[in-house]
Every structure is written in structure tokens, then in C-alpha cells.
Structure 1
Amino acid sequence: MRTRKKRKLKAEINVVPYIDVMLVLLIIFMVTAPLLNLGVDIKLPQSTAKAVSVPKEPILIGVDKDGKFYLTKSGSSREEMSADDIVKQVAAIVRQNPDVPVLFGADARVPYGQAYQILPGLQAAGVTKVGLMSQPLQDSK
């Protein structure tokens, strides 16, 4: 009769599959990162108004051509939110720092009423000054 040798069990984790998965994810993220659209395409109305110098990093509120609202706080990326959520967040920031500038820009293709719906909420929340953004007037030569 043959006797079998008993093997000792190994209590080690095989990390090779985890490394493979990590490398595949790294490649996927490296390929898709440049494809992400970080900005929102807004075609601002044109104006002859002079540019305003802003001493602090402003809070930007934007409305794209589809009527979606976006908030960009100082030092952070643009987030899509509802108008009520934007009003709450901007009101909280302005309560902490009343001197922070608030700028509002809407795509020229958005109906006025849809873009306007956020302004009364900002006023009721205590935001006293809201700047309206526009593009410089293009010379048609």
C-alpha cells in the first residue's frame, strides 16, 4: 500500500488576480478620463458690458441649453443640481461668507422663465448681489 504524504495547508492569499484586475481598471480609467466632458456647453448672450474684476473665487450658477442647473463652488467641480438644492447651498455659503461673489449664466437658447426661476429663490435666501454673465460682443467685420 502506498502512503500519502499529508501536505500542509498554505494560509497565503494569491494576489496575482487582484493585480490583474487593478491593472485593467487602471487602463480603463486612463483611456476614459480624457473623454469625460468636464464643462457644460453654454452659449452666453453677448453684451457690450465691461468685464468685472472679481477679488475672490466666485460661486457660478449655470443653466445649459436643456434647462439643467449646475453649481460650481470655489475650488470644486461643476455639479448638476435642482434649483432648490442650489439655492440652499448658495445660501449656506453666503451666510458664512457674505462677500463671496455669486455669478449666474444661462445659455442664450434657454427660455427666460426657465432661467429666471432660480433668482427669486436666491433673493429670498439672502443673496443680495448676483452678477449676470455674458460674452463680449463679437465684431462682424
Structure 2
Amino acid sequence: MARKPRRMMSQINVVPYIDVMLVLLVIFMVTAPMINPGQVDLPSVGQNLAQSQDPVQVILHLDGHLTVLDTHQGSEEQSVTRDGLVDRMGVLHRSEPDRPVVIAADRAVRYEEVLQVMDLLKKAEIKRIGLLARGRSG
């Protein structure tokens, strides 16, 4: 009796690979809930932050004009141009270099305009710039 020569097998057997994938899937499903993701503790807007000095308020209105409220100079807003803002803040920076400046913008003002005002304050070399937000009541 003569033996037939073995034919080459041209197919791959995927059953062992499926078994390995199922084992890996079970391992990941069991270990995933045990991994502790990094926690980031963000500050709350509703909290009042203590301020050491009265900041100068640069108020950006919806129509685009600027006013400055400086409680050391008086309690009324003074209208300024964008070039006048750089000059006025430069004078303020030379007299009180650590005094903060906050930008109070109307809610509907475009974010780009707020960034332009921040850029003007940076040109005047103001180091402490913030954004004024209304706290949540209740």
C-alpha cells in the first residue's frame, strides 16, 4: 500500500486566536474597574475669593466700547478708547505695579474681543489680569 503525499494546508486555523482574544477581553474587563483614574479638583465658581486689593475693572460693553472703574479714583465709570486703555493702564502699572486688573464683559460679547482687551492689558505690562464673574446666588 503506497502512501499519498501530504497536501500543503493553505488555510489558517483561527480558533486558537479567538480563544486568546476572549481570555484577554475577560482580563481587561476585570482589571479596568480597579484602575484609579487621576482626580482633578477644580475650583468652584460659586465660592468668593478673598481679594487683598480692590482691582481696577475694565468693563467691555456689548456694543464694544470700554469703560474703566477705579475705586481709588472715584466710583464712576470713565469711558476710554482702546489706545487710551493702554496709556491709562501703563500709568497705573508704574504707580501700583501689583494692583490687579479684572475684565468684566457682557455675557453676549464675543470671546475674541475679551482676548483683545487682555492683549491690550499685556501691552501695558499688567501682570495680574483676571476675569470678573458673577457668583451663583442661593
- Bin the TM-score by the shorter chain: 0.5 to 0.7
Distance 1:50 1:84, change over 3 A: farther
Alignment of 1:1-141 (within 5 A): 48=45, 50-73=47-70, 74-76=72-74, 77-137=76-136
Q: Is the 8 A contact 2:103 2:132 kept in 1?
A: yes
Alignment match, 2:15? none
Gaps of 5+ in 2: 1-43
In the comparison of the two structures, how many residue pairs are matched?
Answer: 93
Return the alpha-carbon distance in structure 2 between the equivalents of residues 110 and 83 of structure 1.
Answer: 16
Deviation of the 1:115 alpha carbon: 2.3
Deviation of the 1:138 alpha carbon: 5.2
Gaps of 5+ in 1: 1-46
Query: Identity of counterpart residues, as a percentage?
Result: 22
Deviation of the 1:49 alpha carbon: 5.1
Return the alpha-carbon distance in structure 1 between the equivalents of residues 45 and 100 of structure 2.
Answer: 21
RMSD across aligned positions (CA):
1.8
Larger RCO (alpha carbons 8 Å, 6+ apart): 1
Q: Structure 1 counterpart of 2:47, which letter? A: K
